[in-house]
Amino acid sequence: MSKKSTINIHVELDEDKMPESIEWFAPDGGVEEPQIAKAILLGLWDGEEKSALRIDLWTNKMMVDEMNDFFFQTLFGMSDTYLRATKNEALAAELKEFAKAFHKKAIEALEKNPE
């Protein structure tokens, strides 16, 4: 018998309809109380349309250095997901190397032009 599970994401918008706060919780995953997030990248695959759907949101509290780390960790983690899904070790390793190079360049750019 299958079971449905829910992940809740609440986004509060300011008067300009920009995200002011993001909260999430997932009772079936052991996260009963709302957790605060500064950003979310949500990707969904539409198998019929063969296209990716994305929701990318961040609050004005998200600093550039945090965004750099967020993207690095997301790209790095995607390489593990890709490896588990495809067993393609070479491309997974290449994605990890890209993530590391991206992070290094992002840090260097921030050092040249601080927030």
Prediction pTM value: 0.88
Mean pLDDT of 79-101: 98
Q: What is the pLDDT of residue 1?
A: 85
**pLDDT above 90: residue 113:** no
- The separation between the first and the last C-alpha atoms of the chain, rounded to the nearest angstrom, is 52
Mean pLDDT across the chain: 96
Output the CA–CA distances (angstroms, integers) from residue 13 to 38, 39, 62, in the order listed: 13, 13, 15
Q: Where are the alpha helices (DSSP H) in 10-88?
A: 64-86
Report how far residue 25's alpha carbon sits from residue 33's, in angstroms, rounded to the nearest whole number. 6
pLDDT at 72 over 90: yes
∠87-90-94 over CA atoms, to 5°?
120
pLDDT tens string 22-42: 999 999 999 999 999 999 999
Q: What is the pLDDT of residue 73?
A: 98
Output the CA angle 114-12-3, nearest 5 degrees. Answer: 115
**In the predicted structure, residue 115 carries a pLDDT above the cut 90:** no
Name the token pair of 54: 């994305």
